[in-house]
């Protein structure tokens, strides 16, 4: 009988130990998982305000914007209701890469030519609405990006193109 009592006392302790081991194991699993997630986020730069991982767009955000103004305004003429009209547009582009400023000056004749052809090919009514001007602005941005890609291999170095003056007469 003594053995039965001793054997009976050991049986209830075993499930308690098993439950305790399972709880401790679950806690350790959660802690290790959280540590892994923390390490992964830290290595990707997501905990220190950057989104590293070699992303080029994240690198762009850290550098200051550099603006390049085309010194001479773009002037085109067009016919509207039988009258000759003129459009004068001043343009600036934005990049974050200083070497692109040099490329803009190097390829200025090609850029000016293509932008003048682009602007002069637009319907005169496009110049009168904000949506039309925005459409022309986007087309001009794509044109500058295309030229730089062809000449330097850098397509997205120009992040923005802005009309700083837009006058019709």
Residue 144: what pLDDT? 96
Residue ranges for the chain with pLDDT beneath 70: 1-13, 36-61
Do residues 88 and 41 both lie within one domain?
Answer: no
Mean residue pLDDT across the chain: 82
Structure tokens belonging to residue 97: 């890469």
Do residues 45 and 67 both lie within one domain?
Answer: no
Contact 115, 141 (CB under 8 A): no
Do residues 79 and 161 both lie within one domain?
Answer: yes
Instruction: Quick: pLDDT tens for 12-53.
Output: 668 888 888 888 888 877 777 777 666 666 666 556 554 444
Place of tokens 């730069």: 45
Report the C-alpha gap between 132 and 165 in whole angstroms.
15
Residue 100: what pLDDT? 93
Share of the chain above pLDDT 90, in %: 46
Residue 84: what pLDDT? 87
Number of domains in the chain: 2
Bridge partners of residue 66, in order along the sequence: 95
Structure tokens belonging to residue 89: 């547009």
Do residues 86 and 26 both lie within one domain?
Answer: no
pTM of the predicted model as reported, rounded to 2 decimal places = 0.62
Domain with 31 in it: 2-55
Place of tokens 């602007």: 119
Do residues 101 and 76 both lie within one domain?
Answer: yes
* Domain containing residue 84: CATH number: 3.30.479
Do residues 27 and 72 both lie within one domain?
Answer: no
């Amino acid at each position: 009988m003594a053995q039965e009592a001793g054997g009976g006392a050991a049986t209830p302790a075993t499930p308690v130990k098993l439950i305790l081991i399972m709880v401790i194991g679950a806690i350790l699993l959660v802690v290790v998982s959280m540590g892994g997630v923390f390490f992964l986020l830290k290595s990707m730069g997501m905990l220190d305000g950057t989104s590293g991982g070699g992303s080029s767009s994240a690198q762009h955000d850290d550098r200051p914007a550099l603006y390049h103004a085309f010194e001479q305004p773009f002037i085109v003429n067009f016919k509207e209701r039988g009258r000759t009209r003129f459009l004068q547009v001043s343009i600036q582009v934005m990049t974050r890469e200083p070497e692109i400023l040099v490329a803009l000056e190097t390829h200025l004749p090609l850029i000016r030519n293509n932008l003048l052809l682009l602007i002069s090919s637009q319907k005169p009514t496009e110049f009168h609405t904000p949506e039309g001007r925005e459409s022309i602005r986007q087309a001009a941005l794509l044109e500058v990006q295309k030229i730089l890609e062809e000449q330097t291999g850098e397509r997205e170095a120009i992040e923005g193109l802005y009309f700083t003056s837009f006058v019709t007469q």
